[in-house]
Amino acid sequence: MGELVSSLHTVLQWQNIILMLIGTTIGVVVGVLPGIGAVQAMALLIPLTWKMDVRSAFVLLISIYATSKFGGSLTAILFNIPGDNPNAVTLIDGFPMAKQGRARTAIAASATVSIMGGLFSALTLLAFMPLAYQIILRFGPAEFFMLALFGLTAISAVSAKSIAKGLIGGGLGVLVSTIGFHSIAGQARFTFGTLFLQDGVGMISGVLGLLAMSMAIQLWMEGSSIVSEGVPLTGSIREGVTAVFRNISLFVRTCLISWVIGVAPGAGSAVAGFVCYASAAKSCKNPETFGKGDIRGVIAGDTAIHACSGGDLLPTVTLGIPGSGGMAVLLGAFAMHGVAPGPTIIKFHIDVIYVIIYTLFIAHCASVVMAVAISGFMEKLTKVRAEIIAPLIIVLCLVGSYLTREYWQDIVVTTIFGIFGYYMRKHGYHPVSMLLGIILGPIAELGFYGALAFSDNGAWIFFTRIPSLIIFLCILAVIFWPYISRLYKKGRGVSAAVR
Amino acid sequence: MEMPPYSRETEMSYPSDEKIPDLDSKERRKLIGELWVLLPGFVFALTLFGGSFQMEFDAGAVPMLLGVGTAILIGMRIFHVFFPDSKIGAFKEAGLSGEFDRIKDEIEEERLKNKVPEDQAKKKIPFRTELKAMVALIGSSLAFILFGYMVGIFFVIVGTSYYYGYRNKVQILVSLVSLYIIVYGILYKMLGAPADYGVLLEPILKSLGVVY
């Protein structure tokens, strides 16, 4: 309880309020800017937080993460441009509403669910933390090994266009993570005698290259800006706010579905948005109005993208298994500040978690104010040319990669990751799976050797411990999902034909 | 005969008695493009697999197992690139992402029905543009390595802007000034980031007595 109060005090210190305002502004601006989103912005800012207090660093990063989605919703409603991937769901009904002269109504509904979704995220994170802690206390190295494998397979299945392509990315990532000094065997691996590689390939270089620089290259190639005509800002704010409360059951249902999707590794807010939208369209009355400017579409889509943050953060913080690309970046930040996710964070850095929870809620509220404040510039921001954005991202990537460890070789590594990440994106190998390999590789390897050291019957330890076995079955389910699903559909088809 | 309705399911799965349809030249080119990912990945996986034999078992087991596993997967895909009619390495199973994509596609299809705006159609990026971007990126990295981050910023912003034919001086200046505020003002002066003038400029500046 004392930690809860002192963390609120920390968040409300003037330095942290300024950082939150900076983070909120950056979040809303990157949400509005087409082509880059919260993941890229967080990746670029991690190195700049390296001398900050760990709590202040997370105030800044979580503010960006929480607020970019609302900025993206605004451009989706007003200009038919989703600021970031998750906001694609907002424009389905948001833009038609704006064209019908109800832009303010849509924005008000979006703002209301943003605040309420933020509150839901914060509360669920707070509520499930003790439960998650009790569960992970029962986990040993075998379970952590299995969890790391589960994280890798789940993200491979969700992020890439084919499971095998995802596994290739994950495999390459784990291989990259094996470079460096191996503490258990006391031997250097693949360092070619260089001091630089003794510490391994920097995780920050991976984050910056694979997520941010590869995106900048893409922006460069696509060139120019996405210029679009806006619609006049008309409609009733009150109608938008009351619509949310009139459809409160839809809001609650969407919150629950998106939270579950958020907890699942790999499936982020973009997936949650579309799944919840589809569920709303199927379960609501008069579904034919969806896609033609139905406010329930805006409520369902936007609630999902905001409410899944809590679910997204839970496995990241408690298990060290990131739920999405944004969470992978956050893990990079944890590593940089010497905070290990898992039981130790709850035991020794619970204040950091509380700071994250408070920031998650306050930043959601601040983003609404901030977005309204910059709405006058919004159209100009959507017209910023890629030729200006891309070099800025490149510069921040290169500065960040150098400053993290002060090796010029890190600049080379980041560039290689950037180029490789671009080609991965282009050919359906999502770079997030490779990044996850880099992050989860050491966890898996440590768990593997740790479990074997404690085991009396060798590798059987992974299958004789119940939690480990359950996670193993989940891994099999994820890998064989397409086959299971096909068999199920075939079975249904046969029974329908018999009937 | 009436064709069955198109669905992702029919695109993704090939029952064993069916033959994979011939690919057109566009898809072949796309497959060949994958070699940009596959070849470096294959060489990397094989190198680590081979290198793992020179280590103690504890240190070498993971790279050995993963190296061979990843190399096999990539090898299958490379085989598919050269023999596209083969089922080996076709990797069509979409997994959970296929399910989510299907939901997304259904919603999008419903929304866009026959009116896909032109600006949303995906632009095809020619090889020349790709090469240009890579040259710009490698040039930017070189500027940082040779001149350090404080001088490198100038080269990257001004150089790449002109390289891309973008000559709006006000915007270039605004970018430069804001970056110098972040990097020089906040990072270097306030947060005490180390000074760095790169592997080329630093010895010159030291010999001139400008930096120590």
A-chain residues near B101 (CB < 8 A) = 161
How many Å apart are CA A112 and CA A204, to the nearest integer?
35
Q: Does A404 touch chain B if contact means CB atoms closer than 8 Å? A: no
| Residue B41: per-residue pLDDT | 95
| Chain B nearest-CA residue for A47 | B187
Determine, for residues B179 and A395 on separate chains, whether the beta-carbon distance falls below 8 Å: yes
Determine, for residues A92 and B136 on separate chains, whether the beta-carbon distance falls below 8 Å: no
In chain A, which among 131-160 make CB contacts under 8 A with chain B? 154, 156-160
B19 compared with B162, residue with greater pLDDT:
B162
| Residue B26: per-residue pLDDT | 76
Determine, for residues A271 and B100 on separate chains, whether the beta-carbon distance falls below 8 Å: yes
Q: Does A201 touch chain B if contact means CB atoms closer than 8 Å? A: no
| Residue B106: per-residue pLDDT | 66
A403: which 2 tokens? Answer: 């400053």
In chain B, which among 39-98 make CB contacts under 8 A with chain A? 40-41, 44-45, 47-48, 51-52, 55-56, 58-60, 62-63, 66-67, 69-70, 73-74, 76-77, 91-98
Are A414 and A427 a contacting pair, CB within 8 Å?
no
pTM of the model: 0.83
Q: Sort A448 into a burial class: Cβ within 10 Å, 0-12 / 13-18 / 19+.
A: buried
Are A339 and A345 a contacting pair, CB within 8 Å?
yes
Query: Which helix H or strand E contains A10, and what residues bound it?
Result: helix A2-11
For chain A, give every domain's residue range. Answer: 2-498
Sequence-distant (≥ 6) Cβ neighbours of residue A11 within 8 angstroms? A17, A20, A55, A59, A355, A358, A359, A362
B-chain residues near A226 (CB < 8 A) = 119
Interface A-B, measured as beta-carbon pairs within 8 A, has a size of: 232
| Chain A nearest-CA residue for B109 | A291
Sequence-distant (≥ 6) Cβ neighbours of residue B37 within 8 angstroms? A420, A423, A424, A427, A429
A291 compared with B55, residue with greater pLDDT:
B55
Which pLDDT tens digits describe chain A residue by residue (499 residues)? 677 888 888 888 888 899 998 888 888 888 877 667 788 888 888 877 877 888 899 999 999 988 888 888 888 888 777 777 777 788 888 888 888 888 888 888 988 888 898 888 888 888 888 888 888 788 888 888 888 888 888 777 766 667 788 889 999 999 999 999 887 878 888 888 888 888 888 888 888 899 889 888 888 887 655 445 566 767 788 888 898 899 899 899 999 988 888 887 666 777 788 888 888 887 777 777 887 788 898 898 889 888 888 888 888 888 887 767 788 888 888 888 888 777 778 778 888 888 988 998 888 888 878 777 776 676 666 667 777 888 888 998 898 888 888 888 999 999 999 999 999 988 888 788 898 888 888 888 888 888 888 888 778 888 888 888 988 998 888 777 767 777 777 776 666 666 6
Q: Does B152 touch chain A if contact means CB atoms closer than 8 Å? A: yes
Determine, for residues A172 and B44 on separate chains, whether the beta-carbon distance falls below 8 Å: yes
| Residue B126: per-residue pLDDT | 82
| Residue B71: per-residue pLDDT | 95
| Residue A225: per-residue pLDDT | 55
Shortest distance between the Cα of A474 and any Cα of chain B, in A, equals 13
| Residue B15: per-residue pLDDT | 45
In chain B, which among 111-130 make CB contacts under 8 A with chain A? 111, 119, 123, 125, 129-130
Q: Does A365 touch chain B if contact means CB atoms closer than 8 Å? A: no
Q: Does A184 touch chain B if contact means CB atoms closer than 8 Å? A: yes
How many Å apart are CA A142 and CA B69, to the nearest integer?
21
A-chain residues near B167 (CB < 8 A) = none
A-chain residues near B126 (CB < 8 A) = none
Q: Is the pLDDT of residue B56 over 80?
A: yes
Q: How many CB atoms lie within 10 A of CB A329?
A: 31
B11 compared with A352, residue with greater pLDDT:
A352
CA angle A359, A362, A367 (to 5 degrees): 110
Res. B8 pLDDT band, cuts 50 70 90 = very low
Are A267 and B96 a contacting pair, CB within 8 Å?
yes
Q: What is the DSSP letter of A190?
A: S
Q: What is the ipTM of this complex?
A: 0.82
Q: Is the pLDDT of residue B46 over 90?
A: yes
Shortest distance between the Cα of B176 and any Cα of chain A, in A, equals 9
Determine which of A163, A190, A276, A399 to mutate to test the interface with B (most B C-beta atoms within 10 Å): A399
Q: Is the pLDDT of residue B116 over 70?
A: no
Judged by average pLDDT, the poorest of A452-461, B20-29, B67-76, B110-119 is B110-119
Task: Rounding to the nearest 10 degrees, give the CA dihedral for residues B47, B50, B54, B60.
Answer: 90
| Chain B nearest-CA residue for A293 | B111
| Chain A nearest-CA residue for B62 | A445
For chain B, give every domain's residue range. Answer: 8-120, 127-208
Q: Does A427 touch chain B if contact means CB atoms closer than 8 Å? A: yes
Determine, for residues B187 and A408 on separate chains, whether the beta-carbon distance falls below 8 Å: no
Are A202 and A406 a contacting pair, CB within 8 Å?
no
B-chain residues near A185 (CB < 8 A) = 55-56, 58-59
